[in-house]
Amino acid sequence: FMAYGIESLAEGAANNDNLYLGVVLAAVVIITGCFSYYQEAKSS
């Protein structure tokens, strides 16, 4: 997200690859966190 923001401020029209990468990474982190929470809740 930071790379996308910096690039959009510098050039005006940023490459969307950095935005897509940020969205995918955020989704992976959220899904992993939810799965870990589910596993912990199920085990106790």
d(CA 15, CA 43): 44
Q: Note the pTM of the prediction, 2 decimals.
A: 0.65
CA 13 to chain centre: 21
Distances (CA, A) of 19 to 6, 24, 29, 30: 11, 9, 15, 17
d(CA 15, CA 3): 10
Sorted by where each begins, the domain ranges of the chain are: 2-43
The pLDDT of residue 20 is 84
pLDDT tens, residue by residue, 7-40: 777 776 666 777 788 889 999 999 999 999 999 9
Of 18, 42, 43, 39, which Cα lies nearest the Cα of 6? 18
